[in-house]
Amino acid sequence: MNDSVKNRQLEELNHFEPGDYSPYRFFSAESWADFRDDTPLTLTEDEVSRLRSLNDPVDLDEVRRIYLSLSRLLYAHVESSKLLFNQRRSFLSLPNVTKTPFIIGIAGSVAVGKSTTARILKELLTRWSGSPKVDLVTTDGFLLPNEVLRRENLMDRKGFPESYDVGSVLKFLSDIKAGRPNVKAPCYSHLTYDVLPGEFVVIDRPDILIFEGINVLQVRDLPEDGKIIPFVSDFFDFSIYIDANEDRIHQWYVERFMRLRETAFKNPASFFHRYSTISHDAALAIAHGLWENINLKNLRENILPTRPRADLILRKGEDHLVEQVAMRKL
């Protein structure tokens, strides 16, 4: 494929505007806020401050503007899935079958704010009427251990699809969707930048599971013989993509790296401790290099192409705040 074709495809991916053939309805943040209706604000400023990630300025105003309407929409989907389940149970004459968890997938680039969105939604959904049980799992724990990545020469591809134990991801989601109790998800340490051997979080039949990660909407080559090969997203009941212009994500990534250099990286146990001991300019150059050589490539090759598969897209503008919402048409 020549450079002109690649550039055109990249421009098409980055271009996300309403059009005659778009499967989405587009809303400004202001018009989206109107759909909140009477959904109550159940979070405090202190709670939002605790939930947001480093360098993410989301506050109560952003919760009112974006997340209350989104919470109301998700509530409608969850209730509709219960109705459909009851109708299907009656149709199949399976009176003893119980409803399995509603799974929400959240995808998007590094540094775009997925974790903040996931945590805020978890808290809002937990506080619905009836106090549903809501769990949150990230794909970080399903990364292959650093020892394996080094052996396979994949350390510079960490976060790319091939760096994950996809079989374990599919087994985990399959068990969740089957309603099995006490399903284990592996734990990951951002301090040591590695999977924690023998450490797990146990997920026991939640009403809702939020599954967050950069590549959760990723697809694979289809088999020629027609065998069933599930994608991770096949287990989702609703999916969200957190979107932003490449240049903005680049800026946010570098800003976060430089702030971590003054905080978490100073811990001698940190995998990135060495970056806290070099000069500001040297660290800045490394941050830009990591973005250009690893994260931008992953965004362009694997993450951004999955955006059209999402049910809802939150597009961020300046200051990390959502400026547009795209919702798939029914």
Which tokens sit at 30?
A: 């202001």
Residue of 172, 203, 206 lying closest to 98 (CA atoms): 206
133 carries a ligand binding annotation: no
Farthest CA pair distance, the chain: 69
Report the DSSP beta bridge partners of residue 243: 315
DSSP alpha helix (H) spans, the chain: 3-14, 29-33, 45-51, 60-62, 68-92, 114-126, 146-151, 166-177, 246-261, 280-290, 296-298
113 carries a ligand binding annotation: yes
Which tokens sit at 154?
A: 């994949």
Q: Please state, in angstroms and rounded to a whole number, the distance separating the CA atoms of residues 325 and 24.
A: 9
For residue 199, give the H/E element and its range: strand 194-203
31 carries a ligand binding annotation: no
287 carries a ligand binding annotation: no
Residue of 329, 328, 325 lying closest to 35 (CA atoms): 325
169 carries a ligand binding annotation: no
114 carries a ligand binding annotation: yes
233 carries a ligand binding annotation: no
80 carries a ligand binding annotation: no
- In the annotated binding site for ATP, the residues are 108-115
- In the annotated binding site, the residues are 108-115
